[in-house]
A and B are shown apart, each in its own frame.
Chain A
Amino acid sequence: MTLSRIRNFSIVAHIDHGKSTLADRLLALTGTMDAKKAVDQVLDSMDLERERGITIKAHTVRLLYQGRDGHEYTLNLIDTPGHVDFSYEVSRALAACEGAVLIIDAAQGIEAQTLANFYLASDANLTIVPVINKIDLPAADVEGTREAITATLDLDGSEALAISAKHGTGVPEVLEAIVTRIPAPAGDPDAPLKALVFDSFYDSYQGVVVYVRLTDGHVRSGTRILLMSNGRAYDVQQVGVFSPDMRPVEELSAGQVGYIIAGIKRVADAKVGETITEAARPTAAPFPGYRDAKPMVFAGLYPIEDTDYEALRDALEKLRLNDPAFTYEPETSLALGYGFRCGFLGLLHMEIVQERLEREFDLSLIITAPSVRYRIQTTAGEVLDIENPSKLPTPDRIAEMEEPYVTSSVFVPTEFMTVIYKLAQEKRGEHKALEYHGKRVHIRFDFPLAEIVVDFYDKLKSISKGYASFDYEFADFRASDLVKLDILLNGEPVDALSIIVHRDKAYEKGKALVEKLRAVIPRQLFEVAIQAAIGSRVIARETVKAMGKNVTAKCYGGDITRKRKLLERQKEGKRRMKQVGRVEVPQEAFLLVLKS
């Protein structure tokens, strides 16, 4: 196949602007699936992805398109994850393309992820095809959106295609633009093999299936390949393409996108960003920009029943096979027993892992409040990374504490500026820049990561009536005045409830926390005192009174069934409890810590 008939592209957009809908249209139009089989939004293949409407993993699919010039083109659509937690994966997927279709909702206009994606695509030197979607909506403002594209993005708004992905209007022009505007891949099929890994997954029969984009050379079954970051070599067993299911082909060559199966045992051995070459004739230099995806958020995972510990460990191991960005190591908690400290890219990533553990492995878990990684200089001159608040050295051993900061972009209509600044201030944000784009502003803040991991995005959305959008990136560690806040139940500190907070917020946080805990800890046979303390100083206290009465007075006329059913319903509704000392604490108590 000649390179001039191949296009590698991706579709990027702010969430809900219509990426999945357009992808489905393209698949249907090119007959990649017959219309009947076109289940809605075929690319979001994990259940979780469909339910949440967010693409979590990159997907890829090969479309065969009959161009208006009469030639048949192979279009490789590489779908990228749609959440800030996964921006490294997005950048790698984009690096496998020559062009990107950038969708902008005609009614919403440009938003934070539109910008973030635009920058990522420009950084990767991609040709960008702007597409204005949802022109069928009454609120669609096509001309305004064109102007915004010209003003805000470095693109010619008049060249943007106006479409309705939902109704199919203008979609054929998108296919044609992909062919005419996006350059064909360049590359030398005779040079040594050079392929970029932009995703991979583990299959229990075939081992790791690696998604690759070849820039040079070719690969076929029998090729001995070398992974450049770790020096491991493998013999290729199969190569193929996605159309949309996996289909083996003879050979993949420069410019093409497909998969390689080579007996690789763990996803961690062929990570996103890896460069694959030939063992016998290695390419000169790997792709730039490879890095280990680093977890940013950490939480303890504990089985509710101690007997599930082994099952949890096995499940974590299995999950990690497919998800090297997630880390875990054993830890123990006085309150919760044996468990694991796990690292995640962000909160969404954490929720996904938790949900998969509960759904796919049928485990009941306690997940402790997520924490970021703090950097501690001890008085003895060591540097410690602390991801678990209960492991923080005592204050007398700490010379300085640092916390991670992010740089962030908020994009919002001007009328919400005041509330946004107020929220930013509450979250210890530092204002960095402000730019006006017509009726909207682009504000840049630096935030402590700890302040935004949890409910920042939800708050932002709600105070801006859904109009604000947000994107962030890790910046650096900065010194902060932080303290450890402990929670005590009946005088016993519960290590799993400890958090690290800024000193100025400790009192307020402690008070809010004990109030919340009082509301979720059910009444027990005895009174439960809940205290928040910094060191030995108690700063807030609440009590859960002992259960006074809980009795069915009458089983009338021998209607025992009714009574039993009532109790059965109660039992079902009863939240799973973890026994901490003598106190029964419901699962959600441990997560409340972050919501207060």
Chain B
Amino acid sequence: MLADNPPASDSLGFYIHVPFCAQRCHYCSFNTAPLDATAMTRYLAAVGCELDLLGALAWAPRVRVETVFFGGGTPSLLDPAALAAILARLRRRFAVAPGAEITVEGNPESVTREKLHAYRAAGVNRLSLGVQSLDDAILRRLGRLHDGRGARRAFEAARDAGIANVSVDLMYGLPGLDPEGWSRTVDAVLDWQPDHLSAYGLTLDAGSLWGAAGVAGLPPEETVVAQYWRLARAAAERGFEHYEISNYARPGFRSRHNQIYWRAAEYLAAGPGACGFVGRVRYANVRATPRYAVTLEEGRLPLDTFEELTPRQRLAERLILGLRTADGVPAAWLGARLLCSGGPEPGSSRGWPAGGAAWLRDAEPLRRTIDAWRGERLLADAGDRVRLTEAGFLVSDALFVELL
């Protein structure tokens, strides 16, 4: 399937999923696996095979990897030698650009100066540190294994190890998190002077413990909204740009890898449950780590699902991803979304896609919606682009639903 689907661009991102966690956090719905030595060994061998198989695709030689992102799970559980081996395997099979951004996600309790130093030696130049909060009571409630001081130590270890680009992950809207507690965490973390900050409002996802069992003590919506604005203001004062719904960066420190997602650009993926996008196809690997390993041991790529996007789906994705960012999207794309409603799509050989008739009907209401968003200053025009304002980010799904 991947063989017949060459990427449109030569520059790609590369996502590598490391599923292992010492303990699963209560809010987490990602694909994780309990850490155990045998499983880890099998996993490492499997990822190696997967990189080989991907590298053997006919179009692989012309690909240039611009970013690599180790996500999890907890990638910082990787032994430096193992991480180095994966990167070496990747470099053997693909041309990794000299200035490529190579990120590892890490949890405070599993990083030390030595380990990070070794990571850096293997080529890692960006760390994304899962701090979430500096309040110990809250961290315990989340099921995290570190405390506030440990988070601080981990951050300093990264700097000591010479990692020049460090991002910190925070969460708000958490049970028991009051406005003061959030302000303390925000101010303290900003004092560390990270290069990048991600702040996620808690969602109770299906597949997480809290999603299934519920959780007490969630703050009211007004509090969550206030927490969003508290961070937005503090970050702005410290010179950060709020460049995506949940992301802030010092100038020059936006996440290059994540911007690939938001631009609906292409990336390859390896690891259990990892998702990739090449050509017109979005695909996902087998999620269960043992089955992932077995498939590769049998010499096959562990593809589980894939979907070829119709031109309309692609346009819708470009809009809903692009509008997540402060750059927004070209006004012409929004115009195309409205125009598309008017007739068959140019260059579409399959005639009317399924969504066609629905789009035709909703052109008028959508135009009204967009005008209303402008009127409420949730959407703004910037030259030939359209973007959401910070207030617009907060309610963005209400618009995205309409843009589908």
Interface residues of B in 360-381 (CB under 8 A from A): 361, 364-365, 368, 372-373, 376, 378
* A557 interfacial by beta-carbon distance below 8 Å: yes
Q: A525 vs B324: C-alpha distance in the bound complex, in angstroms?
A: 18
Closest chain B residue to A547 by CB distance? B395
B residues contacting A by CB (< 8 A) are 13, 15, 17, 30, 71, 200-203, 221-222, 224-225, 228, 245-246, 260-261, 264, 267, 269, 274-277, 282, 284, 305, 307, 313, 316-317, 320-321, 324, 361, 364-365, 368, 372-373, 376, 378, 393-398, 400-402, 404
A557→B30 contact, CB < 8 A:
yes
Q: Say yes or no: A558 contacts B276, CB within 8 Å.
A: yes
Asked if A560 is at the interface of the complex by the 8 Å CB criterion, the answer is yes
Identify 8 new A-B residue pairs, CB closer than 8 A, beyond the known A554-B203, A560-B275, A567-B401: A553-B245, A553-B246, A554-B246, A555-B261, A561-B282, A561-B307, A564-B313, A579-B368
Query: Are A549 and B201 in contact, with the CB atoms below 8 A?
Result: yes
Contact string against B for A residues 529-572, beta-carbon threshold 8 Å, 1 for contact and 0 otherwise: 00000000000000000011111111111111101100110110
Known: A553-B203, A558-B15. A548 touches B404 (CB 8 A): no
Residues of B close to A525: CB separation below 8 A: 372-373, 376, 378, 395, 398
Among residues of B, the one whose C-beta sits closest to the C-beta of A563 is: B320
Cα(A577)–Cα(B368), bound, Å: 13
A307 to B372 CA separation, bound complex (whole angstroms): 21
Interface membership of A305, Cβ < 8 A: yes
Count the A-B residue pairs with Cβ separation under 8 angstroms: how many? 107
Tell whether A574 is near chain B: CB-to-CB under 8 Å: yes
Taking CB atoms, residues of chain A closer than 8 Å to B395 are: 525, 547-551
Q: Inside 8 A of B324's CB, which chain A residues have their CB?
A: 555
- CB proximity to B under 8 Å, residues A561-596: 561, 563-564, 567-568, 570-571, 574, 577, 579, 582
B-side contacts of A552, CB under 8 Å: 203, 396-397
A550 and B320 contact, CB distance less than 8 A: no
A560 touches B261 (CB 8 A): yes
Q: Which residues of B contact A361 (CB under 8 A)?
A: none
Query: What are 8 A-B pairs at a CB distance below 8 A?
Result: A549-B228, A550-B396, A551-B396, A557-B17, A557-B274, A558-B269, A567-B320, A571-B401
Within 8 Å of chain B (Cβ to Cβ): is A467? no
> Is A526 on the interface with B (CB-CB < 8 A)?
yes
Which residue in chain A gives the minimum CB-CB distance to B355? A568
Complex CA gap A560/B322 in Å reads 12
Q: Which residues of A does B touch, CB under 8 Å?
A: 305, 307, 525-526, 547-561, 563-564, 567-568, 570-571, 574, 577, 579, 582
| B277 pairs with A560, CB closer than 8 A | yes
Cα–Cα distance between A162 and B13 once the two chains are bound (Å): 81
Query: Complex formed: what's the CA distance from A305 to B366 in Å?
Result: 12
In the bound complex, CA of A360 to CA of B113 (Å): 70
Which of chain A's residues have a CB closer than 8 A to the CB of B313? 564
**Taking each of B13, B224, B401, which has the highest tally of chain A beta carbons within 10 Å of its own beta carbon?**
B401
Which A residues touch B264, using CB under 8 A? Answer: 560
Report the 4 A-B pairs with minimum CB-CB distance, sorted nearest first: A553-B200, A548-B221, A559-B275, A550-B397
| Chain A residues, Cβ within 8 Å of B15 | 557-558
Contact residues in A for B202 (Cβ distance below 8 Å): 553
The distance from the CB of A549 to the nearest CB of chain B, in whole angstroms, is 5
Q: A554 to chain B: which residues have CB within 8 Å?
A: 200, 203, 246
Q: Does B221 lie within 8 Å of A560, measured CB to CB?
A: no
Name the distance in Å between B227's Cβ and chain A's nearest Cβ. Answer: 10
In the bound complex, do residue A305 and residue B320 qualify as a contact, i.e. CB atoms below 8 Å apart?
A: no
A553 near B372: Cβ-Cβ < 8 Å = no
Complex alpha-carbon distance, A555 and B263, angstroms: 13
How distant is B153 from chain A, measured CB to nearest CB, in Å?
26
Verify B277–A548 contact, CB threshold 8 A. Answer: no
CB atoms of A551 and B397 under 8 A apart: yes
Contact A582 B372 (CB under 8 A): yes
Q: Please determine whether B276 and A551 come into contact, CB atoms closer than 8 angstroms.
A: no
Contact B404 A571 (CB under 8 A): yes
Contact across chains for A305 and B275 when beta carbons are under 8 A apart: no
Q: With the chains together, A525 CA to B397 CA distance in Å?
A: 12
CB distance from B334 to the nearest CB of A (A): 17
B121 to chain A, nearest CB (A): 26
Q: Determine the distance from Cα of A497 to Cα of B275 in the docked complex, in whole angstroms.
A: 49
A558 x B267 contact (CB < 8 A): yes
Output the residue of B225, B284, B373, B393 with the most chain A CB within 10 A: B284
B224 adjacent to A549 (CB under 8 Å): yes
Cβ of A556 to closest chain B Cβ, rounded Å: 6
- Report the nearest A residue to B228, measured CB to CB: A549
Q: Measured between alpha carbons, how far is A560 from B276 in the docked complex, in Å? A: 9
**What separation, in Å, do the CA atoms of A146 and B321 have in the docked complex?**
74
CB pair A526–B376 under 8 Å, yes or no, is yes
User: Which of A307, A558, A579 is B277 in contact with, Cβ under 8 Å?
Assistant: A558
User: Would you call A567 and B364 a contact (CB within 8 A)?
Assistant: no
- Cα A577 to Cα B372 with chains together (Å): 15
Q: Which residues of A contact B396 (CB under 8 A)?
A: 550-552
Complex Cα distance A582/B401, Å?
19
Please tell me if the beta carbons of B30 and A556 are within 8 angstroms of each other in the complex.
yes
CA A305 to CA B365, docked complex, whole Å: 9
Please tell me which one of the listed residues B201, B317, B401 contacts residue A560 in the complex, with CB atoms under 8 A apart: B317
CA of A561 to CA of B285, assembled, Å: 13
Is A559 a contact partner of B246 (Cβ separation < 8 A)?
no
Q: Give the residue name and chain of the A residue nearest to B271 (CB).
A: A557
Complex Cα gap A561–B222 (Å) = 30
Q: Contacting A558 at CB < 8 Å: which of B221, B261, B373, B404?
A: B261
How many Å lie between the Cα of A307 and that of B364 in the bound state? 10
Q: Give the nearest-CB partner of A574 in chain B.
A: B401
Chain A residues whose CB sits within 8 angstroms of the CB of B305 once the complex forms: 561
| Max count, chain A CB within 10 A of own CB: residue among B261, B317, B378 | B261
Q: Are A567 and B30 in contact (CB under 8 A)?
A: no
User: Is the pair A549, B30 in contact by a Cβ cutoff of 8 Å?
Assistant: no
Task: Report Cα–Cα, A555/B257, bound state, in Å.
Answer: 13
Known interface pairs A549-B228, A553-B245, A567-B401; A558-B320 also in contact (CB < 8 Å)? no
